[in-house]
């Protein structure tokens, strides 16, 4: 695992090689938060797409099934529902608070899924 400067459109890549093994690289020019998401995204490819020798995650291919799955995995891995509910309960937030779910997608602003615009 590591980070290296890549083309702006490339968020990360996963490689498998008989001599080197499994490798994940993310774009070091992206923000720290974006890199963290990219590591989790590429980890999904490591778990589920080992049969491929390489996979490059680009903005242009985000709608492909394996990319959508990796984005979903990364979001769930970084923000598991149970942990979020436990945290909110611990700070006195309960079911009386409207639920807002933001979905992260490269190159697209977060969008609300209950009709409420996300806070900026």
- pTM, 2 dp: 0.69
Residue 103 pairs with which residues in a beta bridge? 111
Please give the chain's pLDDT, 120 residues, in tens: 899 999 999 999 999 988 989 999 999 999 999 999 999 999 999 999 988 999 999 989 888 999 999 999 999 888 887 887 787 788 877 666 556 656 666 665 555 444 444 444
């Amino acid at each position: 695992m590591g980070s290296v400067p890549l083309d702006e459109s490339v968020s990360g890549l996963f490689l498998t090689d008989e001599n080197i093994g499994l490798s994940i690289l993310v774009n070091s020019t992206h923000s720290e938060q974006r890199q963290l998401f990219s590591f989790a995204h590429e980890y999904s490819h490591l778990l589920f797409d080992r049969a491929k020798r390489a996979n490059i995650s680009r903005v242009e291919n985000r709608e492909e099934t394996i990319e959508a799955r990796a984005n979903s995995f990364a979001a769930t891995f970084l923000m598991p529902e149970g942990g979020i509910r436990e945290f909110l309960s611990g700070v006195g937030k309960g079911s009386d608070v409207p639920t807002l779910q933001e979905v992260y997608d490269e190159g697209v602003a977060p969008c609300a899924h209950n009709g409420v615009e996300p806070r900026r």
